[in-house]
């Protein structure tokens, strides 16, 4: 897996709903509106996991969605990052220990960033994508100090 500096300025995001209540999904769509406008960071919502760099997974994983979740994860070409959006996907939330839930997401696919909240604020998702970007930086061989410096730059 070869990482490149172009990756972090052009993250294409695929959104997968694994049984969410649609609250988080509405907040994800809000990211594209003029108020938040994530396209200025090169983040684009794409329609196919084959085009994506980042998977945004919402919802506790129910039984029917589990094979699809794994399939979509495998269909996403490397290098990739997975972001779980919302409390349900992070821990199960109110659906914890239900008979029809096999989640949370990290039981089945490797997850890089958790964005808890019910529903999350759009700012939190932007922050989560930024964290995923830092994970890709770490894979590229940057040390902790350099990444700290990058965070400073981004915050400033």
Partner 1 sequence: MSGGSIIIFILNIFGALIIAILGILVGLFYKGIDRKLAAMLQSRVGPPIRQPFLDFFKLMIKENIVPENAIPWVFNGAPVLALVSTVTILFYIPFGPIPALLGDSGDLILIAYLLAIPAIALVAGGFSSGSTYASIGAQREMVLMMSYELPLVTTIIGLGWRLNLAYPGLKVFSLAALSTNPIWGLVGPLGFLGALLLLLTLVIVTPAELSIVPFDIPEAETELAGGVLVEYSGRNLALFELSNAVKMIVMGTLTIALFFPYNIAHLLSITGFFAYIINILFFFFKLFIVIFFEATLIRVALARLKIDQASTAYLIFLSATSLMGLLLIAIDYII
Q: Does 30 bind partner 1 (CB under 8 A)?
A: no
SS3 16: strand
Phi, psi (deg, nearest 5) at residue 142: -80, 145
Tell me which of 22, 26, 37, 67 binds partner 1, using CB under 8 A.
Answer: 37
The separation between CA 9 and the C-alpha centre of its own chain, rounded to angstroms, equals 16
DSSP structure class, residue 101 = B
Minimum Å gap between C-beta 154 and partner 1 is 15
Q: Does 141 bind partner 1 (CB under 8 A)?
A: no
Q: Which of residues 116-135 bind partner 1 (CB under 8 A)?
A: none
Minimum Å gap between C-beta 109 and partner 1 is 17
Q: Would you give the binding string for partner 1 spanning residues 43-82, x where CB under 8 A is met?
A: ---xxx-xx-x---------------------x-xxx---
Question: Is 62 in contact with 102 (CB distance < 8 Å)?
Answer: yes
Minimum Å gap between C-beta 91 and partner 1 is 29
Q: Say which residue the tokens 């406008």 belong to.
A: 37
Could you tell me which stretch among 42-50, 59-67, 86-94, 127-135 binds partner 1 (CB under 8 A)?
A: 42-50
Question: Is 15 in contact with 69 (CB distance < 8 Å)?
Answer: no
Tell me which of 39, 123, 146, 148 binds partner 1, using CB under 8 A.
Answer: 39
One DSSP character per residue, 20-64 reads --SHHHHHHHHTTSTTT-GGGGT-EE-S-GGG-SEEEEESPPBGG
Interface with partner 1 by CB under 8 A: which residues?
Answer: 2-4, 6-7, 9-10, 12, 34, 37, 39-42, 46-48, 50-51, 53, 75, 77-79
């Amino acid at each position: 897996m070869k990482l490149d500096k172009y990756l972090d300025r052009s993250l294409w995001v695929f959104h997968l709903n694994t049984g969410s209540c649609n609250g988080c999904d509405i907040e994800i769509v809000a990211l594209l509106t003029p108020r938040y406008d994530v396209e200025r960071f090169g983040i684009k919502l794409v329609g196919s996991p084959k085009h994506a760099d980042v998977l945004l997974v919402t919802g506790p994983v129910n039984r029917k969605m589990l094979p699809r979740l794994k399939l979509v994860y495998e269909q996403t070409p490397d290098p990739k990052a997975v972001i779980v959006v919302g409390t349900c996907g992070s821990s199960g939330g109110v659906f914890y220990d239900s008979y029809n839930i096999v989640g949370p997401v990290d039981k089945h696919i490797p997850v890089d960033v958790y964005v808890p909240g019910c529903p999350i604020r759009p700012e939190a998702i932007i922050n989560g994508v930024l964290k995923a970007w830092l994970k890709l930086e770490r894979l590229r061989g940057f040390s902790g100090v350099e990444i700290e410096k990058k965070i400073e730059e981004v915050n400033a």
